[in-house]
């Protein structure tokens, strides 16, 4: 598939090298998307903003679209935050996390509580501390998710946004209400443990291994389930 085209003897693309199988699949997908397109040579090309075809693109319209989607994403996780077996203080921490209101270092820099040169993760990994880095991608804390998945026997990819991660994790074991409730509880527990570990590094100079953190998740989970 070094050359691929369509029409009466016309070549649409000519590749300088042989395509990899996954690239061929992408080209075929692109070709399928274009197969129903009818070219109109006598019509002037123009950009169309699908959100507002009549008025066209505007910065205000793009801002409203993005903020609306963010609000919808947060609203989708609202019911998951408040779990009857979880202490209220835990749900409050997660509620603040989903609205980016935790005192993570990026927020502290933004509020001028600390200077920008203090923005780095408390784990010493070299990354800048924000909610996504702290809870999902930090090389010290992120492996906890893999251990938790292995422990309960589920597998899933990690979305880029915290609220998407919450929703996907809670629904990763099927539609059973009991399973969803358990995974919801487990996700909240992970966030609580990581937040405490982060604060222990700052205020007590104590650092746990990822396996010790997993044990703490299991312990908290047992306490919460037995207390109900």
Q: d(Cα 222, Cα 85) in Å, to the nearest integer?
A: 11
Residue 95 has pLDDT above 60, yes or no: yes
Give yes or no: residues 83 and 27 share one domain: no
- In the structure, what pLDDT confidence band is assigned to residue 75 with cuts at 50, 70 and 90? low
CA distances from 224 to 31, 89, 178, 208 (A): 54, 13, 15, 22
Domain assignment present for residue 16? The answer is yes
Give residue 17's domain range. 3-34
pTM as predicted? 0.67
Region of poorest pLDDT, from 70-84, 150-164, 208-222: 70-84
Give yes or no: residues 84 and 22 share one domain: no
Domain assignment present for residue 42? The answer is no
Domain assignment present for residue 69? The answer is no
Total of domains in the chain: 2
């Amino acid at each position: 598939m070094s050359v691929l085209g369509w029409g009466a003897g016309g070549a649409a693309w000519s590749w300088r090298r042989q395509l990899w199988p996954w690239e061929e699949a992408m080209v075929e997908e692109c070709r399928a998307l274009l197969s129903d397109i009818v070219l109109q040579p006598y019509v002037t090309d123009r950009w169309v903003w699908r959100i507002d075809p009549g008025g066209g693109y505007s910065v205000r319209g793009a801002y409203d679209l993005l903020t609306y989607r963010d609000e919808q994403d947060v609203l989708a996780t609202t019911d998951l935050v408040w779990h009857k077996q979880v202490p209220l203080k835990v749900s409050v921490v997660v509620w603040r996390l989903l609205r980016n209101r935790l005192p993570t270092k990026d927020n502290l820099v933004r509020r001028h509580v600390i200077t920008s040169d203090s923005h780095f993760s408390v784990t010493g990994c070299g990354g800048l501390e924000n909610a996504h880095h702290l809870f999902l991608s930090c090389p010290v804390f992120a492996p906890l998710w893999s251990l938790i998945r292995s422990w309960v026997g589920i597998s899933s990819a990690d979305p880029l946004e915290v609220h998407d991660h919450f929703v996907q994790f809670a629904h990763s074991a099927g539609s059973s209400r009991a399973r969803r409730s358990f995974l919801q509880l487990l996700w909240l527990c992970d966030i609580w443990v990581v937040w405490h570990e982060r604060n222990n590094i700052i205020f007590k100079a104590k650092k746990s291994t990822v396996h010790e953190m997993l044990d703490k998740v299991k312990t908290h989970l047992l306490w919460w389930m037995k207390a109900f």
